[in-house]
Amino acid sequence: MYFNKIKGHEDLLSLFRNNIEHSRFEGVYLFSGPKAVGKFTVARQLARYLLCTGVIDDSCRCETCRLFPHVPDYLEINDEQSSIRVADTEEIDNFLSLVPFRSSRRVILIDDADRLNITAANNLLKILEDSRKDAIIIMVSSQPERIIPTIKSRCYEVEFQSLSSDDTIEILKGMGHNSSRFSNIKKSLPYLKEGVLQNFSRYVESQKMVLNFLKKFPKAGEDELLGEVAELEAQGDGVFFLETFILYMNDMLKIRNDSPDVVFNVKDLDKLEEITEFWSDELCITAADRAGKALKDYRCGLNLRLKPRLASVISWTYIFMQKELKKNKK
C-alpha cells in the first residue's frame, strides 16, 4: 500500500493514507521537524501519490509514477544555493499559471523553505494568497521559526518527531552500515538531531574524539583546546561535537550520582569513570546548559556562525574547571 518503504512516523503516515483515500489534500503544507528524519522523503512520496493517475500504490506503473519526479505537473525547489531567491518563486508562479497537464492537480515541493530571502518570501506570499484549489504546495523546514509568520499562517503545519532508535538503526542497516557500530550509539540516537543518518560514521568518530578531548581538559591549555574545536568547526563537525559533548556531560552526572546503568555510552563507561572526578555536578550541568543554548541559538539563526558560540562554551568550561581545580588544591 502507501509509504511501505518509509520507516517511522506511523501516526502521520496513517493520517496521510486516510486523507489520500478520501481526497482531502488541498492548500499549503509545512512539514517541520529535526533534520534528516524523513520530512523530504515523505513529502516527495506524497507528491507522487497526489499526482498518480493509476492505482495510487507503491507498485503502481502508471506513466506519472514511472517517470516521477520528472513529470510536468510536479515542481521541486531543491538546489544548493544559500538562499531561495526571487527567481525560484517566479518559477513557482509560472508553473502555477498553467493548468494540470496529465494529473488532476499540480504539486510544488519546496525543500529547506526557511532559506527564503525576504524578497522571495514576500513574492511567495502573494502566490499563496492567489493559489488555486488544484495546486498543492508542500514546504519542508528544520527551522520553521525562520519562516515569516504571514506565510506560516497560511500553512497546515505537520510536525515530524525524531526517529526512534530502532527505526534509525533499521535505516542505517539498509544503508549498509556495520551493525557492530550501533551498540555504542543506540541510546544516543534520539538526542542526535542533526543529520545522524547522513553522517553516521562521523557521529561514531565524534564520540571517540569528544571523549579524548574531555580527558585533556584538566591539563591542556585553553589555546590548545580552542585550536582543536576551531579545526573541528572548520571541518563541519561543530554541531556533532556539541551534541556529543552534552551527552557526555549527562553521562558523567549519572556516574557521579550512582546511576552508571543508564548512561548513553555504555561502551565508554570505564573511560568516563576515570575522568568524572574532575567534573563536578555544577560544572556538568552548566556546561551542558551552555552547549544546549549555543546549539539552539545557532539552529534558530540567531547567530549563523557556530564557531564563536562553540569557542565560548569551551572557554567558559575551561575557566570554571581551572577555578575548581585551584579550589580543591587549597
Looking at the structure, do residues 208 and 321 belong to the same domain, yes or no? yes
Which one-letter amino acid corresponds to residue 31?
F
14 falls within a domain: yes
Task: Report helix, strand or coil for 257.
Answer: coil
Query: Which own/partner contact pairs does 52-61 have at CB distance under 8 Å and 24+ positions apart?
Result: 52/103, 53/102, 53/103, 56/2, 56/20, 57/1, 57/2, 58/1, 58/2, 58/3, 58/4, 58/5
User: Whole-prediction pTM value?
Assistant: 0.71
Looking at the structure, do residues 114 and 97 belong to the same domain, yes or no? yes
pLDDT of residue 183: 67
3 falls within a domain: no
4 falls within a domain: no
Q: Cα separation of 162 and 34, whole Å?
A: 6
Which one-letter amino acid corresponds to residue 313?
V
pLDDT of residue 193: 60
Closest CA to 191 of 245, 272, 252, 266: 245
Looking at the structure, do residues 151 and 235 belong to the same domain, yes or no? no
Looking at the structure, do residues 144 and 184 belong to the same domain, yes or no? no
43 falls within a domain: yes
Say if residues 227 and 218 touch (Cβ distance below 8 Å).
no
Q: Over its length of 330 residues, how does the chain's per-residue pLDDT go in tens digits?
A: 568 778 888 889 998 988 888 888 889 999 998 887 889 999 999 999 999 999 888 888 999 999 999 999 999 998 777 789 999 999 999 999 999 999 999 999 999 999 999 999 999 999 999 888 899 999 999 889 889 999 999 999 999 987 777 887 777 777 777 766 676 667 777 666 656 777 777 777 778 888 899 998 888 899 999 998 888 888 888 888 898 899 899 999 999 988 877 887 777 888 888 889 889 999 999 999 999 998 888 777 655 677 888 899 999 999 999 988 887 775
Looking at the structure, do residues 85 and 113 belong to the same domain, yes or no? yes
pLDDT of residue 149: 94
**Which residues have C-beta within 8 Å of that of residue 222, sequence separation ≥ 6?**
314, 315, 318, 319
Strand order in 27-32's β-sheet? 74-77, 106-110, 135-141, 27-32, 156-159
Domain limits for position 155: 10-159
Cell of 325: 581545580
2 falls within a domain: no
pLDDT of residue 301: 62
pLDDT of residue 3: 82
pLDDT of residue 330: 59
Please report which helix (H) or strand (E) contains residue 157, including its range.
strand 156-159
pLDDT of residue 5: 78
Give the total number of structural domains in the chain.
Answer: 2
Q: Cα separation of 229 and 231, whole Å?
A: 5
Examine the fold and report which residue of 108, 130, 159 is the final residue of a domain before the chain moves on.
159
pLDDT of residue 266: 73
Looking at the structure, do residues 181 and 317 belong to the same domain, yes or no? yes
**Which residues have C-beta within 8 Å of that of residue 123, sequence separation ≥ 6?**
86, 89, 90, 93
